Structure 1
Amino acid sequence: MPIISTKGNKMPASPIRKLVPYAEAAKKRGVHVIHLNIGQPDIKTPKIAMDAVRNHNLEVLAYSMTEGSEQYRKKIASYYAKNDIGVTAEDIIVTTGGSEALSFVMGSIMDDEDEIIIPEPFYANYNGFATALGVKVVPIVSSIDENFALPPISEFEKLITKNTKAILICNPGNPTGYLYSKEEIGQLATLVKKYDLFLVADEVYREFAYDNREHFSILQIKDLEENAVMVDSVSKRYSMCGARIGCLVSKNKSVVQTALKFAQARLSPPTFAQIASEAALETPKSYFDEVIEEYVGRRNLLVEELKKIEGVKVAVPQGAFYCIAELPINNSDDFAQWLLEHFEIDGETVMVAPAAGFYATEGLGLNQIRIAYVLEKEQLKWAVTILSKALDQYLGR
């Protein structure tokens, strides 16, 4: 029998999606599964984006430019200018989601066995991208007791070797919801310049900053042009996950030119999705004001309800729409599967994402889960009630 590659065997399963077969089996038994496991917003996509696709006048659905249409890239640059980020269309490559942008970045700046330092817990697919490209992830632990703040720079410095090429952050964080401050970003900037490293920032949740905090981008640091690479996406900002449109942004010409070669190998980003994404840039600020108000309300309710459960510890998110909760259990994978296979209240159960898959350090996160608060408040409150009663039964088995 032909043999699967070593790389293929090493590819990690998604902690967000690996329990899907159990969820589907529950649904077939007639159980309603409330999804707390995946960051699929329930907020409506801006009508202006949908209408742009409905009302198009294309007669041929042709390839776009490899780097994305010039018109769209110019509009993205204008959007960034409003956020105090000075880039041009030439600094931007449109990608098939932020995921592809991250893969292009790793492929462009790293060779086999090169190392990238990432504060953990982190977006689980970073492990997948790194494995696919032969890159070594070097984790640095952030603590729930510190609300997942940036670890001390001295701890980063201890991890830097001759193979270190970059530091990667997600800001605001998935799965933690932590929003890095301007001071923390500045500390990282000083470090990467000292050691001539890249600083890569996944900023797909940039619009979701709460409690009067402001998002600060690595591209707002004026003397970091050669070191800074940003990844972005329309998926969460405009509730357009299915559009699969993201971008890579950098003032480093060598990075952009190299990433373009990777982009050429996949031909071009999808045309219709770029049309929708370009139109979405015209979304009024009031849309975000309403969305942020809604997410803050959901966050507050979720944290309040979780804190009522004995033995549960929860970090308070400052952005995005995720939080990490620590439960009085030993194995959240087992608990999450048990929820889907053996527990229900009035024909309903919940699906959560076990947090161990968001860590690279073996043994960490085993008693934690990630919750995506992308449900309306009433359903979110009911989901936590189910979770609370499930814990009682699970612990009393």
Structure 2
Amino acid sequence: MPAISNKGLAMPASPIRKLVPYAEVAAKKGKKIFYLNIGQPDIKTPKVALDAVKNNSLEIVSYSHSAGFESYRKKLANYYQQRNIPVEADDIIVTTGGSEALLFTMGSITDPGDEVIIPEPFYANYNGFATSSGVKVVPVKASIDNGFALPPVAEFEKLISSKTKAIVICNPGNPTGYLYTKEEMEELSALAKKHDLFLVADEVYREFAYEGATHHSVMSQKGLEEHAIMIDSVSKRYSMCGARIGCVVSKNKEFINTALKFAQARLSPPTFAQIASEAALETPQSYFDDVINEYVDRRDTLINALEKIEGVRVAKPKGAFYCIAELPIENSDDFAQWMLESFEHEGETVMIAPAAGFYSTPNTGLNQVRIAYVLKKENLLKSVTILEKGLQAYLKK
């Protein structure tokens, strides 16, 4: 039998999706499942985006420019400028989701054997993107004790080597919901300049900053123009996960020209999804105001309910729509699978994401889970009740 590549064997399974087969079996048995494992909002996609596709009169679905529609990039630049992110259309490459933007970035700034430093826990697919590029993730561990705040910059600095090419952050964070402060962004920017590194910021949850907090973009940092790379996506902002449209943004022309070669190799991003994404930029501010209020209510509902469960610790998110909860168990992979295979409460159960997959340090986060509060409040309360009863039964078995 032909051999699978070492790279393929090393690719990690998604902690978000790997339990899907167990969920499918549970659903076939008649269990109702509350899906807390994946950041798929139940918020309606803006009508203006859906109508742009529905009412389109294209007769030929042709390739676009490899960097994406010029009209879309110009409107995107205007959107960013209104948010104190000083970029132009030529600084933007439209990608097939934020995932492709990260892959283009890894391909453009690293060689096999190079290293990137990432505060953990982090978005699980960073492990996959690094593995597919032959890059080593060097983690800096954040702690639930202080809400997963940025670890001291000294912890980053002592890990920098001749192989280090970048520091990668997610702001606000997935899976923690942590929102970086102005001072933390300035500290990271100074470190990137001092050691001549790229600072890559995944900002797909930019709009989701709560209680009047301000999001500080990597692209707004003074003097960081040659170092800053921003990753973005329409998936969460407009509840358009299936559109698969993102972008990579930088003022560094050598980087953009290099990333464009990767974009040319895959030809172009999808046409209809770009049409929808361009139209989505016309979404009124009232849409975001309503969405933010809804997520704050959901966050408070979830956190308050989780904190009442004996033995559970949870960090209160400042942005995005995830939280990390620490459970009184030893192995959340086993618990999450058991909840689907062996437990139900009134015919219902929950699907959660084991948090170990959001770390690259082995045997870390084994008693933690990520919960996405993307369900209505009444369903979140039901989910927490199911989780509590499941914990009680699991600890007795």
**Structure 2 matches for 1:250-269, cutoff 5 A?**
250-269=250-269
Indicate the residue corresponding to 1:280 in structure 2. Answer: 280
> 1:274 deviation in Å?
0.4
Q: CA separation in 1, counterparts of 2:363 and 2:180?
A: 26
> 1:211 deviation in Å?
1.2
Residues 314-358 of structure 1 show CA distances to partners (whole Å, capped at 9, x for unaligned) of 000000000000000000000000000000011110000000000
Q: CA separation in 2, counterparts of 1:219 and 1:49?
A: 26
Q: CA separation in 1, counterparts of 2:214 and 2:244?
A: 26
Q: CA separation in 2, counterparts of 1:182 and 1:238?
A: 26
Q: CA separation in 2, counterparts of 1:18 and 1:285?
A: 36
Q: CA separation in 2, counterparts of 1:89 and 1:211?
A: 32
Structure 2: tracts of 5 or more residues without a match = none
Indicate the residue corresponding to 1:81 in structure 2. Answer: 81
Q: CA separation in 2, counterparts of 1:325 and 1:5?
A: 36
Secondary structure of the corresponding residue to residue 168 of structure 1: strand
Indicate the residue corresponding to 1:194 in structure 2. Answer: 194
> Aligned Cα RMSD in Å?
0.4
Indicate the residue corresponding to 1:236 in structure 2. Answer: 236
Q: CA separation in 1, counterparts of 2:124 and 2:16?
A: 8
**Structure 2 matches for 1:119-198, cutoff 5 A?**
119-198=119-198
Q: CA separation in 2, counterparts of 1:263 and 1:60?
A: 22
Secondary structure of the corresponding residue to residue 340 of structure 1: helix
Q: CA separation in 1, counterparts of 2:104 and 2:288?
A: 29
Residues 114-163 of structure 1 show CA distances to partners (whole Å, capped at 9, x for unaligned) of 00000000000000000000011000000000100000000001100010
2:39 is aligned with 1:39? yes
Indicate the residue corresponding to 2:97 in structure 1. Answer: 97
Q: CA separation in 1, counterparts of 2:182 and 2:235?
A: 25
Indicate the residue corresponding to 2:72 in structure 1. Answer: 72
Q: CA separation in 2, counterparts of 1:343 and 1:388?
A: 12
TM-score, reference length from structure 2: 1.00
Secondary structure of the corresponding residue to residue 371 of structure 1: strand
**Structure 2 matches for 1:310-349, cutoff 5 A?**
310-349=310-349
TM-score, reference length from structure 1: 1.00
Indicate the residue corresponding to 1:5 in structure 2. Answer: 5
Indicate the residue corresponding to 2:299 in structure 1. Answer: 299
Q: CA separation in 2, counterparts of 1:56 and 1:181?
A: 42
Indicate the residue corresponding to 1:49 in structure 2. Answer: 49
Q: CA separation in 2, counterparts of 1:133 and 1:188?
A: 24
2:17 is aligned with 1:17? yes
Indicate the residue corresponding to 1:223 in structure 2. Answer: 223
> 1:222 deviation in Å?
2.2
**Structure 2 matches for 1:341-360, cutoff 5 A?**
341-360=341-360
Residues 282-333 of structure 1 show CA distances to partners (whole Å, capped at 9, x for unaligned) of 0000000000000000000100000000000000000000000000000000
> 1:180 deviation in Å?
0.3
Indicate the residue corresponding to 1:28 in structure 2. Answer: 28
AA aligned opposite 1:102: L
Q: CA separation in 2, counterparts of 1:261 and 1:395?
A: 54
> 1:45 deviation in Å?
0.1
Residues 9-64 of structure 1 show CA distances to partners (whole Å, capped at 9, x for unaligned) of 00000000000000000001011111000000000000000000011121100001
2:386 is aligned with 1:386? yes
> 1:221 deviation in Å?
1.1
Indicate the residue corresponding to 2:207 in structure 1. Answer: 207
Residues 215-234 of structure 1 show CA distances to partners (whole Å, capped at 9, x for unaligned) of 01010112100000000000
Q: CA separation in 2, counterparts of 1:130 and 1:220?
A: 26
Secondary structure of the corresponding residue to residue 140 of structure 2: strand
Q: CA separation in 2, counterparts of 1:346 and 1:303?
A: 23
AA aligned opposite 2:188: L
Q: CA separation in 1, counterparts of 2:354 and 2:240?
A: 25
Secondary structure of the corresponding residue to residue 79 of structure 2: helix
Q: CA separation in 1, counterparts of 2:286 and 2:183?
A: 29
Indicate the residue corresponding to 1:375 in structure 2. Answer: 375
Q: CA separation in 2, counterparts of 1:27 and 1:303?
A: 27
Q: CA separation in 2, counterparts of 1:351 and 1:63?
A: 39
Residues 139-193 of structure 1 show CA distances to partners (whole Å, capped at 9, x for unaligned) of 0000000100000000001100010000000000000000001110000000000
AA aligned opposite 2:32: H
Indicate the residue corresponding to 1:60 in structure 2. Answer: 60
User: After TM superposition, where is structure 1 displaced by more than 3 Å over at least 4 residues in a row?
Assistant: none
Q: CA separation in 2, counterparts of 1:222 and 1:257?
A: 22
AA aligned opposite 1:238: Y
Residues 88-119 of structure 1 show CA distances to partners (whole Å, capped at 9, x for unaligned) of 11000000000000000010000011000000
Q: CA separation in 1, counterparts of 2:364 and 2:214?
A: 30
Q: CA separation in 2, counterparts of 1:28 and 1:363?
A: 33
> 1:79 deviation in Å?
0.2
